[in-house]
Amino acid sequence: MITAKAPPPPYTSGFFRKIESGPSPAVETLGLAKLRGINVGGLYRSRRSFVAHARSKPIKAKENTGASLIDDWFKPIQAKDDSDIEECATAFPGKNLPQMSNVGNSTNILWHDCPIQKQDRQQLLQQKGCVIWLTGLSGSGKSTIACALSRSLHSRGKLSYILDGDNIRHGLNHDLSFRAEDRSENIRRIGEVAKLFADAGVICITSLISPYQKDRDACRALLPKGDFIEVFIDVPLQVCEARDPKGLYKLARAGKIKGFTGIDDPYEPPCSCEFRFSYSFQKTGAFILQIVLQQKGSGCKSPSDMAEIVISYLEENGYLRA
């Protein structure tokens, strides 16, 4: 018998440190020649025990095919008959697939519900989520009142968050201009974010010029009835322009800012807001005169007093308890 030594495998330890092959019928039958060049470590025990086992129970190749044991091992698994395929198809019938939605330019999207709902979050925070929407001309005091309101809520252990128009344009809406269509998109995005805050159980305070009635109405429609509380800071243009805390009115009058609300772009006062605050300023900038509410009047002298009126409304309508 002629004995040929096979090339050593890529490793020098283990059972296959040295493999010899020859014209043995068992070797040909098992197709061991096909094992050259592949890593067979872990597939077999040892050459001697493997060959001894093959000699004791010889395995015959299939007639006229030359197929080896290796071929059989790696043969793809097929279904026995069409009934197997039918079982797989009925496991996921089309009628049980979730109903997909098309919203705007988004297609084939699915709304996923979570077992923790708004009521659970409100119970955790011991308050009810809502949106307090402050609207008015630039320089009317919206941001000042928003901060006073948030501070007062915080002192009561209530969680709030302010969405300030300028702050939002530093990040989320930095890609938008002050053209009419971009201003509408600005309000739409903020309305959707405010809705999420309210759904989280947070009292969301927005401080936005939001000059167009249709945009404010669209934001109101996003929330359940009563959860959108519109506060109109009704300050005359001449008063806001006299204050001009950011110097924007001066730039607008000089033609350096185009589309500025109150100068060359309109402001549409709310038709049916929950609150209407009307006041003026002293030369020092302190608030004076009075607040005029939608249904009842009350005098006050500071933004903190205005905030307290809104908080009283929240208390009366159950927003400061779960």
- Catalytic residue, from 140, 160, 207, 210: name it: 210
The stretches of the chain forming alpha helices (DSSP H) are 25-30, 47-56, 69-73, 82-91, 118-125, 142-155, 165-169, 180-199, 213-221, 237-243, 248-253, 303-316
Instruction: Give me Rg for the CA atoms of the chain.
Output: 38
**Cβ–Cβ under 8 Å, residues 258 and 273:** no
| Contacts within 8 Å (CB) and 24+ apart, 36-43 | 36/6, 36/7, 39/9, 39/10, 40/9, 40/16, 41/9, 41/11, 41/14, 41/15, 41/16
Question: What's the Cα-to-Cα distance from 312 to each of 304, 306, 308, 317, 319, rounded to whole Å?
Answer: 12, 10, 6, 9, 10
Active site residue 210: yes
DSSP H/E element including 57: none
Enter the tokens of residue 173: 């809406």
Give catalytic residue positions: 210
